Amino acid sequence: MRAQTNCGIWCCDKTRMSDIAEDETSFYSNAEDYWRDVSPTVDGMLGGYGSISSIDLNGSKAFLQKFLGEGEGKTGTGCALDCGAGIGRISKRLLLPLFHTVDLVDVTQEFLDKAKTYLGQDGQRVGNYFCCGLQDFAPEKGRYDVIWIQWVIGHLTDSHLVEFLRRCQSALRPNGLIIIKDNVAYEGVVPDEVDSSVCRELGIVRKLVGQAGLRIIHEEQQMNFPKEIYQVHTLALR
C-alpha cells in the first residue's frame, strides 16, 4: 500500500533501479526487517488502511471473474497462488472462495503461521505455505490456474521481477493467468525507505511485463480508494 503524501513517511524522490540493484542485499534484508515488525493483522498488511480491504477485494473479484468459467480461453479454478500473501487476507476472501486449492508464499514466517488460524476451516484447502522471498521463489511448473501478485512487486528489483514473472509463466496451466495488482507512481520510480520498496510508473511496469515475455490482456484501475493513496492498477497477463 502506498500513500502519495507525507514525505516524512513515504519518500517522494525519484530514483533509479540501477542504484538499488547495486545494493540488493540490503534492499531485501531491510524489507524483511520491516515486515518482521508489522502486526499480523489486516490493518498491518495494508499499512494502516485496513478499512479499504472490502473495496479492494470486491474490485479484485469483479476483475478476476471476467476470466473464470467454461469455454474457449477461460481460466480454470483448480489451483491459485497468493504471492506476498501475508496472513492470507486475499486468500481468505478472494482466492479460496473461487479455487479448489490455494498456495501461499510470503517472506515472513509469522504471517504464514497466523494465516493457518486466520483462514479458518477453508484453510484446509491450502496446499502449501512457502516462506520465501519472491526473488528466490520458483513455483512448480504447470501447477497454477491463477497467480495473484498484489502489493509486492515493489519489493523486487527490475531484473528479479522479470525473472520471477518468467518463472510464473512456466508455472501456469493452459489458459492460466498472472494478475498483478499494485500502486503505480505518476512518474519514474519512487522509493520508500521505510519498508525498502519502490513504486514504479505504469509504463515501466508494462515494459517489464513485456521483457518477461508476457502480454497484458486486460487492465483496470481500482476505484474508490482514498485520494492520498497512489493509483492502483490491476493487470491480467498471459
Query: pTM score, two decimals?
Result: 0.93
Judge whether 84 is annotated as a binding position: yes
Res 11: pLDDT: 36
pLDDT of residue 70: 87
Amino acid at 59: G
Q: What per-residue confidence (pLDDT) applies to 197?
A: 96
The pLDDT averaged over each successive group of 10 residues in the chain (238 residues) is 41 50 87 97 96 98 96 95 98 98 98 98 98 98 98 98 98 98 97 96 98 98 94 98
Is 109 among the annotated ligand-binding positions? no
Binding site annotation covers 231? no
Kindly tell me the burial class for residue 195, based on how many C-beta atoms sit within 10 Å of its own C-beta (0-12, 13-18, 19 or more). middle
Cross-strand pairs, 183: 232
Domains of the chain with CATH codes: 17-237 (3.40.50.150)
Give the DSSP H or E segment for 24.
helix 24-36
Contact 205, 184 (CB under 8 A): yes
The CA-based angle 174-62-47, given to 5 degrees, is 100
Alpha-carbon distance of 235 to 238, in angstroms, equals 10
Contact 231, 3 (CB under 8 A): no
4 is in an annotated binding site: no
Contact 110, 40 (CB under 8 A): yes
150 is in an annotated binding site: yes
- Say whether 107 counts as a known binding-site residue: yes
